Amino acid sequence: MSAPAATGSTSGPILGIETSCDETAVAVYDGERGLLAHRLHSQIALHAEYGGVVPELASRDHVRRINALVREVLAEAGVAPAELGGIAYTAGPGLIGALMVGGAVAAGLATATGKPLIPIHHMEAHLLAPMLEAEPPEFPFLALLVSGGHTLLVAVRGVGAYELLGESLDDAVGEAFDKTAKLLGLPYPGGPHLARLAEQGRPGRFRFPRPMTDRPGLDFSFSGLKTAVLTALPEAASEQDKADLALGFEEAVTETLAIKCARALDQTGFQRLVVAGGVGANLRLRAQLAELARRRGGRVHFPRQIFCTDNGAMIAYTGWARRTQGRAPEGKLFTTPRWLLSELQPPPAST
Ligand code: KG4
Ligand code: ZN
């Protein structure tokens, strides 16, 4: 947590580059003027026929897209490279080849302009994404991070002050959504498709377990839920049955998350809950957690839906937050596929 401060001016907008998985995303964030521009190219169509992200294809497509996106975003923001206060990029966790594309472009720009390079932890950026909204949460808050690769409950006391309270012991929530969607014959990535199908579902037809809610603790387990869906699948022949099953699954997941959030709020005594990561775009989850916060007299903060999934704005914002708070890690290029949020001080250079 005590990363050495980067040197150089803290003023000037921050360019943020995200290439950790299947979105090439770039944005410019300014401390005074806010988000100046953000653009994203999604690779969903590229990977769809394979039913999942193909790492080598992802890296190559980032290479194809990244330079044009950087140019477009800087032009839209009306910011010349020489005016930037720093260049932030996702250093990890993620697909190593994909990360290296964003890292190389960021490092090249940093060298060419003499601006600081700011390596960013992808999950920290998700966690701070609600700061981009008109009414950002105040510290401290409880963060529920729910993405394709992570399910984390984190006590957040400030930028860089994160205490992991609970995590998934097996599948991440997004992964459970995607695998269940696959079982239902839905296209990749299944989460949003399953959520849309569940809207047609009839409540009460399928009831699945709320894993690990019957014992104390804040960890999660979602792989059993997927197996429960598999077992129930023969009962879901028609489209209506499938929608009913999708709803049963979604209810089990969102209720489990809400139960653990309530428990973590009790444990920390925090009033504010922040929900981020791709599954944070799920409307049932948003409604359930809003209701939880209302009942407790607290508040829940979500990023707008496009900033729940991977984006450049959260990287640019986190770069700015780290710079201005003197907590930016040393400006050396590194990328790492695995990086625990609890070990936010970056590991030694791996590339
Ligand atoms: O944060 P994200 O864009 O990428 C990772 O860092 O993993 O999260 C992607 C995950 C996928 O598993 C996707 O299916 C899920 O978020 N997701 C959703 C919804 N939108 C995206 N899951 C459920 N309901 C949604 N509306
Ligand atoms: Zn993500």
pLDDT digits (tens, 9 = 90+) for 217-256: 999 999 999 899 999 999 999 999 999 999 999 999 999 9
Query: Percent of the chain, pLDDT > 90?
Result: 87
User: Do the bridges between strand 34-42 and strand 23-30 make them parallel or antiparallel, or are there none, so unpaired?
Assistant: antiparallel
Atom of ligand 1 nearest to the CA of 181: 14
Q: Which range, of 11-25, 158-172, 328-342, averages the lowest pLDDT?
A: 328-342
Atom of ligand 1 nearest to the CA of 126: 1
Predicted confidence (pLDDT) at residue 9 exceeds the cutoff of 60: no
CA–CA dist 80, 68 (Å, integer): 15
Give pLDDT, residue 7.
40
Give pLDDT, residue 271.
95
The response to whether residue 152 sits with its C-beta less than 6 Å from ligand 1 reads: no
What does pLDDT average to over the chain? Answer: 92
The residue whose CA has the least distance to atom 24 of ligand 1 is 282
Name residues with Cβ closer than 5 Å to ligand 2, which is an ion. Answer: 147, 310
Model confidence at 6, pLDDT cuts 50, 70, 90, reads very low
DSSP secondary structure code for residue 159 in this structure:
T
For 55-77, what is the mean pLDDT?
Answer: 98
pLDDT per residue as tens digits for the range 281-326: 999 999 999 999 999 999 999 999 999 999 999 999 999 999 988 6
**Among the listed residues 329, 325, 169, 189, the one whose alpha carbon sits nearest the alpha carbon of residue 260:** 169
Model confidence at 4, pLDDT cuts 50, 70, 90, reads very low
Alpha helices in 274-330 (DSSP H): 283-296, 313-324
Give pLDDT, residue 351.
43
The response to whether residue 177 sits with its C-beta less than 6 Å from ligand 1 reads: yes
Distance 212 CA to ligand 1 centre (A): 22
The response to whether residue 279 sits with its C-beta less than 6 Å from ligand 1 reads: yes
Distance 337 CA to ligand 1 centre (A): 19
Sign of the Cα torsion 265, 269, 273, 277 reads negative
Q: Ligand 1, from 147, 285, 288: best to mutate by most atoms within 8 Å of Cβ?
A: 147
Q: Which has the higher per-residue pLDDT, 332 or 346?
A: 332
For 199-204, what is the mean pLDDT?
Answer: 97
The response to whether residue 280 sits with its C-beta less than 6 Å from ligand 1 reads: no
For 91-109, what is the mean pLDDT?
Answer: 97
Predicted confidence (pLDDT) at residue 189 exceeds the cutoff of 90: no
The residue whose CA has the least distance to atom 20 of ligand 1 is 192
The response to whether residue 191 sits with its C-beta less than 6 Å from ligand 1 reads: yes
CA–CA dist 304, 285 (Å, integer): 14
Distance 246 CA to ligand 1 centre (A): 16
Give pLDDT, residue 329.
62
Predicted confidence (pLDDT) at residue 205 exceeds the cutoff of 80: yes
For 141-166, what is the mean pLDDT?
Answer: 94
